[in-house]
Amino acid sequence: MAKFERIPTPAVRRLSLYLRQLERFRAADRRTVSSRELGDAVAVSDAQVRKDLAYFGQFGHPGIGYRIAELIDRVRRILGTDKQSNVLIVGVGNLGRALASYRGFAKQGFDLVAAFDDDARKIGTRLTESIRVKPMDDLVKTVAGHQIRFGILCVPATSAQAAAEQMIAAGIRGILNFAPVTLQVDAGVAVSSVDLAVHLEQLSFQLGGGRYGAGKAADV
């Protein structure tokens, strides 16, 4: 592990973008791709593609480029999504319901297996074909029973920290956080936050909406 500790977060983010694009190439029946073609498709330079991949090993074949199926397998192994992982949702408001119906998760190795809310009126209601909303008291049992490590948190800001602590106490180790708060978590717990207002502010800045716009597009 130590060997890889210095990999910059943006490089890991780009691995996801490469993976998404490689899957599209494969769906279009392509077998190989050059770093330039892959870079062009996701708007980064070919040098950046090679550099990002070089953190993890040797992937290209001289005179061929990358073999798409092989590179997909290897990137998935690097990201740890070569096996399906179980995921739960805490907070079944509009956003929770939208996320539950988002098909991208399963395709990328994440199976939504349970949903929780502390609103008694929601408990027992159907979220998807196979999932009914459970009370927060069932969190510990469900996490253990389904070996769930990842949780999606979409409760209001005011209850986010408390809900996150319940998730962590139950054994969750990675939280995708949609509440507009900075969660305080112990070392060993990973948090990725999606604050939608932040994204809009970044766009506003890029468009020079203030006095300082830089005009460059940012991604994820």
User: In angstroms, rounded to a whole number, what is the distance separating the alpha carbons of residues 184 and 217?
Assistant: 30
Please report, as residue ranges, which positions from 56 to 115 form the binding site for its own copies (by CB under 8 A).
Answer: 56, 77-82, 85, 87, 93-95, 97-99, 101-102, 104-105, 107-110
Which value, to the nearest 10 degrees, does the dihedral of the CA atoms of residues 85, 5, 8, 184 take?
60
Size of the site for its own copies (CB under 8 A): 84
Sites for its own copies among residues 191-210 (CB under 8 A)? 191-210
Stretch that binds its own copies, among 3-11, 65-73, 117-125, 128-136 (CB under 8 A): 3-11
x-marked contacts with its own copies along 24-63 as a string, rule CB under 8 A? -----------------xxx------------x-------
DSSP state of 92: -
Residue 119 contacts its own copies per CB under 8 A: no
Shortest CB 47 distance to its own copies, Å: 18
